[in-house]
Chain A
C-alpha cells in the first residue's frame, strides 16, 4: 500500500526525514514514558488514606519558680488592671524580647458589640498589644476564625479599629491560610488549622473574655483556641470536653490573659442582653491555662469547678494544674 522510496528515504531528503520521523518518534516515546510514569497501578479506598499534618511547636517559656506563674489583678478599667496583672508576673519583658513576632489570639467568635462580652474587649486587646509593643516586639499579629462572618466580627467587636490604631497585622481566615494539623489528642487527631500566623510568630498570647457556654459551661482561655481550627467544627460539640482539653495539648502559649472585667454570666457564648453581663473587675494572667480557667470558673463566675469536666480532663492528662492555689500566684490591685 505504500510507494517504495524513490530517492533518499521516502522520497525526501535525509535531513527532512530525520526531522519528521524524529518528531513522531519523540512524541511516541514521550507518551509512552509519560503514560508509564503517571500510571496509577493500585486503587485506594477513598477517605481512608493515611493522614499527615503539621505539629505546632511550644511557645511557652521555661518555668521560673522564683517568679509567679499567675497574677490576679482587681481594678476599674482594662488598661490599668491588665498592666497591674502583667506587672505582677514580672512585666511583659519577661515574656517578650526585642524583635519577637507576637501572635495575639482574641476571641472574636460573634459579631457583637463589646459591651455584651461575647468577644474579647477592644480595650483588653489594646492594653495587651501596647505592653507587647513596649517590650520591643517587631510585629504583632491578630488572628481568629470566628463563627459569624469574619469581616463583621472584627468590625463590630471593635477589634479592627484597635488593629488599625496600633498597626497590628489582622489576618482574616482565608482559605489558603489553613493547613492540616496532626495531634495526639483524645478526640482531635487530624484537623484543618489556621496555620498562617504561626509560620511567623515566635510568641503567642491568648486574650480571652470570661463567658458562660451553653454546652461546656464556660468559655475562657482554653476554649479560646477553638478559633484556630477550621473545617466542620460543629462536630466538636459531640465531645466538647475532650476537645477543649485537647486544645491544652495543641497549644502551649507564652501567656494567657483572662479578661474578667465584665463576665457573661448567662445565655452564653453569644449573650445579647446587658442583663447577662456582670461587672466583676478582675483580670487573670498566667502561663498555665488550666489554673487561670480554674480561677475564672470558681472565682469570677462563682460556679462549682467540679462540673467543669474539661478542666479535670486537662489536669488528669498533665496539661496544667486545676488547683490554682498551689500555683505561685500573686494578687494585686490596680
Chain B
C-alpha cells in the first residue's frame, strides 16, 4: 500500500487487496459455511419429546378420579309420564348440594318397572342381562349422539337386551327395539340409517342385513339385531332372533300409503327412503317417499307425496314457481287426468305431476326424455 504515491488520485476502484484481507475473507466464508452446517445439523436432530408427550408419562393417569361425574342426572326417577317430567327452572340450591350422591347411583330410568322383559322363543340363546328400557328423556344414555335423530322421528322408547350364544361362549347378540309413534316414522328412521349395500331380508318388506347386523322395520318398530362377531352360528342365531322379533311385533302399515304407490317394476332394491320434511330442499315437500329405478337402461329418481287434493295442487304450483325462478319450465299435455310440467334447473331435469291428492315426479335426471317417459308410463299405468 505504501507504494502508491499520496499525490496521485487512484482510479475509482481499489485493486490492491492485501493477502491478509484475502485470508480474512476466506475465513469469513468458511465461518458462514460452518454456521449453515451447524444450523442444518441442529435442525435435523431434536428430541421428539419437544413436540409430543412421552407415552410412559401417561402411567400416572391409570387410576380413576372419584367424585367427578361428567353428567349429573335429573333428580326425578321417572320422566316418562307427562306429570313427572317437569321441574321448571334451575334447581334450588339445597338440591344441588345432594346432587353428587345421585351421580354415583345407576341411572334410575333403566330400572323402570314398566319395562316388559324381552323373551324371544329362540333356542340356543339365553339372556345375559335384564331388559333395559329408555324413554325419550334418557335415550341418549344408551345411544349418545344418535338420540336426536331418533327423537326427530318421534321415537317413543327403546327396549334392548343382550343374549349369550350357547354354542359360542365369547359371542353375544344385542337386540334393540325402537318404538315409534307411526309406521311411517319408524320407516323414516330405518331408511335414514340404511346401508345402501345391505342385503334384503326375506321375512319383512323393509329390512336388510349388513355386516354382523340385521335391521328392519315392522309396524311401528325399528329393530336392530347385532351380533358380536361373524361366526356362522352366531349370525344364524341373530337372524333367527330377528325373524322371531318380526313375527312377535304387530304389523301395521297405515300412513305408508304413499309408499305403496311407488311402482315395483325397476325398483333398485332397498333404495326407498322416507323424507319427513324439506324433501329436495323444498319446504312444501313433506312426508315424501322416494326411490331409485332402472328405467330403459338409465337410473331415475322418483318421488311420491300423498296429501289433501288442495295441498297437492298448491305444492305442484309452488314447485313450478321455484323451477321458473331458477330454470326453464315447459308445461306438458295432461296424461290420465294429471297435470305435468318439465323443468331444467341447475343442469338436471325433472318432470313433476299432480293428480288429485297425489303429486310426485322424477328429479335429478340427466336425460329429459327418460324423466318424462318414466312419469308418463307411471301415470299411464304401464309401470306396476
Contact = CB atoms under 8 A, between A and B. Distances in A.
A42 to B, nearest CB: 15
Interface string A194-231: 00000000000000000000000000000000000000
Interface in A1-55: 1-2
Nearest to A3: B1
Nearest to B2: A3
Interface stretch (B16-24, B72-80, B304-312): B16-24
Contacts of B21: 1
A1 B22 CA distance: 8
Contacts of B20: 1-2
A153 to B, nearest CB: 34
A258 B278 CA distance: 79
Nearest to A1: B21
B218 to A, nearest CB: 59
Interface in B1-58: 18, 20-21, 24
A2 B23 CA distance: 12
Contacts of A2: 20
Contacts of A1: 18, 20-21, 24
A1 B20 CA distance: 5
Nearest to B17: A1
Interface in A274-320: none
B97 to A, nearest CB: 16
A300 B24 CA distance: 94
Contacts of B24: 1
Nearest to A2: B20
A236 B170 CA distance: 56
Interface of A is mostly: loop
Interface residues of A, number: 2
A1 B24 CA distance: 8
A183 B52 CA distance: 39
B17 to A, nearest CB: 9
B16 to A, nearest CB: 12
B258 to A, nearest CB: 64
B48 to A, nearest CB: 18
A311 to B, nearest CB: 24
B21 to A, nearest CB: 4
B50 to A, nearest CB: 13
Nearest to B1: A3
A1 B26 CA distance: 13
B306 to A, nearest CB: 65
Nearest to B18: A1
Nearest to B20: A1
B116 to A, nearest CB: 50
A1 B1 CA distance: 11
B369 to A, nearest CB: 75
B239 to A, nearest CB: 60
Interface in B111-165: none
Nearest to B21: A1
Interface in A76-110: none
Contacts of B18: 1
Nearest to B22: A1
Nearest to A4: B20
A1 B19 CA distance: 8
Interface in B152-191: none
A2 B20 CA distance: 7
Interface string B337-365: 00000000000000000000000000000
A178 to B, nearest CB: 36
A181 to B, nearest CB: 31
A310 to B, nearest CB: 21
B4 to A, nearest CB: 14
A2 B21 CA distance: 8
A2 B24 CA distance: 10
A1 B16 CA distance: 11
A96 to B, nearest CB: 49
A167 B291 CA distance: 102
A2 B18 CA distance: 9
A7 to B, nearest CB: 15
A291 B236 CA distance: 80
A22 B189 CA distance: 91
Interface in A152-205: none
Nearest to B24: A1
A53 B24 CA distance: 58
A1 B21 CA distance: 5
A3 to B, nearest CB: 8
B60 to A, nearest CB: 16
A87 B194 CA distance: 94
B69 to A, nearest CB: 22
Nearest to B25: A1
Nearest to B23: A1
A220 B299 CA distance: 90
A11 to B, nearest CB: 14
A52 to B, nearest CB: 26
A126 B5 CA distance: 101
Interface string A246-278: 000000000000000000000000000000000
A2 B19 CA distance: 10
A243 to B, nearest CB: 21
A1 B27 CA distance: 13
B261 to A, nearest CB: 69
A43 to B, nearest CB: 13
A2 B1 CA distance: 11
Interface string B245-274: 000000000000000000000000000000
A5 to B, nearest CB: 13
5 contacts: A1-B18, A1-B20, A1-B21, A1-B24, A2-B20
Nearest 4 CB-CB pairings of A with B: A1-B21, A1-B20, A1-B24, A1-B18
